[in-house]
Structure 1
């Protein structure tokens, strides 16, 4: 069975190739229907990764946030036409200690092998999770990034002490929005405070208990724990500001991705006895838990609808380029490709 694959061959240049899919009893064939553009996709598209990494990774089909429709399942686990979220993390082994998304042997779509910019995708059944009926497909398309926040919060609940009166989230972008929303749903008794640089973005965080510009944090404001969702060159500043305002023995969850090393105030990390941990990607357990959260708390999906940005019908390479270029200039929100290939 032939499938069309849209691969990035060099920054801002895509190429259509055809790949043969072997039909067997251990894989499900899925047709992607909505794809969500992530910052990681943009770093490849714009050539913002190191030259040696681009040479190693490309050509490659982008996109690791997507939902699709089952078209063929010889295992009988999914009915034809079932809408599913596709899990990009692809483990080849299990470990009783290390989660699937941290195993060095695991592969991740759109980071080393082809992502979901394909006509059809062959996947193992355990990499697919059925979606709730009537869910907004544009929200469902970025379930993966929501599952990353869900994963980080699950780990936070394991690592942190139980005094969770005040929790701060640094970052007023998509990741900060998603993380603070889930925190408010999962820990409704906690005071969730969001810290950002754009006042107009902070207005969207209506579910948060407080919002602050990072230039206007009161000197006597302290919190129990914090999540860093900034990334990039500003991640160091954000983490050090958290260190200044966090109470002793607090926990800091680091989620923002930076290409550069970040200098940290290790003296105060030691003096306050802080615990820092990093989280990246997610696994099947996180997707299952998040889908259950969607079912139990429909308001989560309603709030996530607020960060659906441009929705672009995509039929060819020119449409793909247009979607990525529009995404570059967005102020807030997730750019969704309605995949018609």
Structure 2
């Protein structure tokens, strides 16, 4: 059957392309709500290097989406089932490495087509049903929640057992979600969030403490820490963390930076710190998020506060309108109600 894919062919230029799809295998999903990620915006703006853009484009953007099943050749999902789509596509298994770290894995919206399509064909292992109680706008960015959950899942297996006080650097979407998952899983943990914007910190009503980044303790108070800043803020955040965590703390790095980040390795060595990076997620992380939604119904309710503009999309002009609005937003997630 023919399927229409909406590809970015150059910065700020989208083009529809008809492709033939074999629907005799896999799960055919019609996207309904798509969430714009910062990585999508960097491609849209042309903010990546010319070498990267030449290698990646043309390409359909978006790796955060929810949709409904149109057809399932495997017979596992019923027609009309609401599902989130997993953008990570592994081609092998490893006893020692998660699917999202295998160099052979591909990722929708980063090297091959994302979910800006009329229909998306995926293996059954790349589709997870969403509870009915979850709003479509929240379900759309479940992938981002799964990234935060993946980092917390790894923290659970890497960090030592003293977890009384944990610091989270970053007042954006990722810092919000990481803090929310920590408080849900560790209700007795003292979670302190650091940010640059007081108005953003005011939304972190579920944590124990909020501070601006110039109000950092001078003594070592945190058992562990999460860095969720990225970009130009990474270096300052990581070095503040190094200064304020206790010896043998674990530091989780999640912020994405285009340029190398200088850090105080002398103090990393002196304190015996463990720094680990987390990127993307896999099937197990998506399943853990669905379980979190079901076991802690307050979590999706808090996530609703991250929903920013919701833009009905029926044309390429509407797509561009949503991306331009995302560029101007101060916080939250921009959602496209996909009617293409």
Asked whether the two chains share a fold, i.e. TM above 0.5, the reply is yes
C-alpha distance in 1, partners of 2:74/2:180? 37
Secondary structure at the counterpart of residue 156 of structure 1: helix
Cα deviation, 1:143-188, whole Å, max 9, x if unaligned, reads: 0000000000000011101110110000000000011011110111
Secondary structure at the counterpart of residue 284 of structure 2: helix
- Answer yes or no: is 1:227 the counterpart of 2:243: no
C-alpha distance in 1, partners of 2:133/2:313? 22
- Answer yes or no: is 1:143 the counterpart of 2:145: no
C-alpha distance in 2, partners of 1:100/1:92? 9
- Answer yes or no: is 1:6 the counterpart of 2:6: yes
Residue 244 of structure 2: aligned partner: 245
- Answer yes or no: is 1:125 the counterpart of 2:114: no
Residue 15 of structure 1: aligned partner: 15
C-alpha distance in 2, partners of 1:220/1:239? 16
Cα deviation, 1:65-116, whole Å, max 9, x if unaligned, reads: 0011000112110100000000000001111111000000000000000000
TM-score computed with the length of structure 2 as normaliser: 0.99
Q: Which runs of structure 2 are paired with 1:278-317 in the superposition (5 Å)?
A: 278-317=277-316
Answer yes or no: is the 8 Å Cα contact 2:69–2:79 preserved in 1: yes
Count of residues in correspondence between the two structures: 340
User: Over aligned residues, Cα RMSD in angstroms?
Assistant: 0.7
Residue 320 of structure 1: aligned partner: 319
Answer yes or no: is the 8 Å Cα contact 2:150–2:285 preserved in 1: yes
The alpha carbon displacement at 1:220 in A equals 3.1
Residue 264 of structure 2: aligned partner: 265
Cα deviation, 1:1-55, whole Å, max 9, x if unaligned, reads: 111111000111111111111121x311110000000000011001111110000
Secondary structure at the counterpart of residue 214 of structure 2: helix
Answer yes or no: is the 8 Å Cα contact 2:225–2:252 preserved in 1: yes
Secondary structure at the counterpart of residue 101 of structure 1: helix
Answer yes or no: is the 8 Å Cα contact 2:31–2:68 preserved in 1: yes
Residue 32 of structure 1: aligned partner: 31
Residue 84 of structure 2: aligned partner: 85
Q: Which runs of 4+ in 1 moved over 6 A?
A: none
Where structure 2 has 5 or more consecutive residues not aligned to the other structure, the ranges are: none
Residue 169 of structure 1: aligned partner: 168
